Amino acid sequence: MSLGHSSDSSSSDATPASPTPLCIICDQAVVGVAPFSRCHMCSQHLSVDVANLFKLKEEVEELLRAYSQESQESQESRDSQESQGAAGAAGRAALMRHRQDAESLRRLALDIQQQLQEVNQKFDLVQQHIDSFRSRVTGQLSGVLEAVRVCERDLEDVSSYKQEVATAEAAGDMAELLRLVQSMHESLGDLEADFERSERLLRDQSDNEELQVRLLGQLERLVGICAGRSEEGDWLRDAAVTATSEEIDAAEKERLLFDPMVFSHEVKLYVLVQWLAVCSDTSGFVCDRSGRVVPADSAGDRRKPLPQPCIFASFYSNNNHLLVLSVDGSQKLRCHCDIDWKNLIWGLHCDRQLLFIAQCDAVTVTDLSGRAVRRVRPHIEGFGDICGIGGNAASVFVSSGNKIAAFSKATWRMETVITLSQLPHADLCSLKIHDNCILVTDWGHNQVHRVRIDTQQLVASFPTQRSGLQQFAGPRDVAVDSRGRLFVSEFLGHSVRAVAADDGSLLWTLGTPGESGSGDGRFRYPKCLAVVTGGPREQLVVADSFNSRLQVFSAS
């Protein structure tokens, strides 16, 4: 056997076989998609799912029959009572009650239908990620199998070489022996590289505990994605931004970073705004005639849809609602939330169509109409009152002192507590998530810290030497745009700083540092920040607190 082809054969990549679809519940082969849960299932679980569907159909038919019978009896009673004179009023009242019951039943049916659609969408997304994850694991195992086969071929080549050398030695053919030695010497480098690669793959896959932890981590992220609506659009946008940044050169990147935002317009509020959150998807919610945000019952109920995107704002002195307004300020609505309004609000976070309202002792999760979904309390030893909130697709983060606690959006259980032990006197407040890092303000040190989520390590504190600043003048809130620019509101400095989120270099400043003002682009104790996406240009919203207004800046 010739040794010259061992390198070529080892470098060829075998195409992994397509995995056989398996049931999402068990390991049996898939026979179809379940009509009720919209998931791939085997014959056994498919029949169970179909049975559940028919059971639900029977329950709905039973409700309809009961309602039809009750309506018929009500009609007969009404006709009889109207013929009896004074008893007709009672009949009309009963009919009105039945109509109200029918309206309640109709709204309940619409709510159930909407919930079923959301559940189907979540399961579809989970199925896609499970299929993708299964393909990756299958590809890794195929790579290991190919590495084993390469090792077998190399061993066969070595055995063949030994046999050919023994034959040449026995025949006394020195020329053939020299050729074999030279050929083997040339192939030793390729054989050694193949052996190291195969050994590395086998070693990585042989550690079962490490593999299990990696699998659990991936599954946990999938569950986190299912905690709310799909964030697939955000992933696509991030991928598009990444692709664009790879195509432009370094000079263009620098121009984009240093290109400042310019004043666009102001929104007068006549109240002192405390916190802001932006919602990009308001579908399914409308405002009633009184200006209150409510779930949409039907398309023909004469209710106006919510602006999209819209801004949720809380006030310094709690009323009984949040302010909901369009970016241009033309619409101002109310969101009456199921929270204890006696406690101050310490931060707002919006993830898809869920609002996370942080108060000193708990985080209340509501829909866009303010209806409470869940209340989470961080029962953690040494964790004080909540002073800030932020989140990503899988987790919600709250700050207190020098600690940051993370809760899973899927299970609402505490995942971890990050302690900045090198900053024992830190006063962590508002935070945002960017590039797998937490950017959190520190009122005690007049800094903004960058903390890695995966390693839980403090990697940088802004301002840095490249910022050209000694410290921020009372940093109160932070926001990050798609270009990687970190905005910091200086509450005591009457300005907003824009720095690079990676190295902290100062890019530009909004307002006049140290001087308050009321004109366009001037601030008087600016508080919270928000970045609005979804339009032709990104916009930065600044709560100019003591001027009782919002100032909106647009990318040039």
pLDDT tens digits, 34-68: 776 667 778 887 788 777 777 777 777 777 777 67
222-244 average pLDDT score: 43
The crossing angle, in degrees rounded to 10, of helices 88-171 and 174-206 is 160
Q: What is the 3-state secondary structure (H, E, C) of 192-215?
A: HHHHHHHHHHHHHHHCHHHHHHHH
Lowest mean pLDDT among 142-151, 197-206, 518-527: 197-206
309 prior amide bond cis, ω within 30: yes
Domains in the chain, number:
1
Q: What are phi and psi of 222, to 5 degrees?
A: -65, -45
**438 neighbors 450 (Cβ within 8 angstroms):** yes
- Please give the pLDDT value at position 86: 55
Residue 228 has pLDDT above 80, yes or no: no
- Please give the pLDDT value at position 100: 79
Residue 528 lies in a domain: yes
Percent of the chain with pLDDT over 90: 38
pLDDT band, very low/low/confident/very high, at 214 (cuts 50, 70, 90): very low
Which range (209-218, 395-404, 497-506) has the least confidence? 209-218
- pLDDT score at 142: 62
In a domain, 533, yes or no: yes
Packing angle of the helix pair 43-82, 88-171 (nearest 10 deg)? 170
Establish if 426 belongs to a structural domain.
Answer: yes
pLDDT given at position 101? 78
What is the distance between the alpha carbons of residues 86 and 31, in angstroms, rounded to a whole number?
Answer: 65
Q: With bands split at pLDDT 50, 70 and 90, how would you rate the model's confidence at 244?
A: very low
Residue range 495-507, pLDDT digits in tens: 999 999 888 889 9
For residues 465 and 137, the model is more confident at: 465
Neighbour count for residue 144 (Cβ, 10 Å): 16
Where is average pLDDT lowest: 124-138, 403-417, 530-544? 124-138
In a domain, 357, yes or no: yes
pLDDT of residue 83: 59
Q: Average pLDDT in the 350-379 region?
A: 92
> What is the DSSP code (8-state) at residue 221?
H
Q: Which domain holds residue 270?
A: 253-555
Q: Is residue 540 part of a domain?
A: yes
- The share of the chain scoring above pLDDT 70, in percent, equals 71
Check pLDDT > 60 for residue 427: yes
- 3-state secondary structure (DSSP) of residue 112: helix
Q: Determine the pLDDT at residue 234.
A: 44
Neighbours of 415 (CB within 10 A): 15
| CA dist., res. 114 & res. 109, Å (int) | 9
Is 320 a residue whose pLDDT tops 90?
A: no
Does a structural domain hold residue 347?
yes
Rounded to whole angstroms, the Cα distance separating 499 from 434 reads 14
With bands split at pLDDT 50, 70 and 90, how would you rate the model's confidence at 105?
Answer: confident
Predicted confidence at residue 220, as pLDDT, reads: 47
Domain of residue 526, CATH code: 2.130.10.10
Q: Is the pLDDT of residue 232 over 50?
A: no
Per-residue pLDDT, averaged over 317-334, amounts to 89
The answer to whether 292 and 336 are in contact (CB under 8 A) is: yes
Residue 298: inside a domain: yes
Looking at residue 87, its pLDDT comes to 57
Q: Is the pLDDT of residue 7 over 50?
A: no
* Confidence category of residue 378, pLDDT binned at 50, 70, 90: confident
456 part of a folded domain: yes
Joined together, the tokens standing for residue 86 give: 């004074």
Cβ atoms of residues 294 and 288 within 8 Å: yes
Q: What is the mean pLDDT of the chain?
A: 78
Average pLDDT in the 214-238 region? 44
Give 72 or 481, the one with higher predicted confidence: 481
Q: Is the pLDDT of residue 4 over 50?
A: no
Nearest partner of 396 among 373, 422, 371, judged by Cα: 373
CA–CA gap between residue 530 and residue 542 (Å, rounded): 7
Residue ranges with strand state E in 31-149: 32-33, 40-41
Q: Has residue 153 got a pLDDT over 80?
A: no
Cα–chain center distance at 52: 32
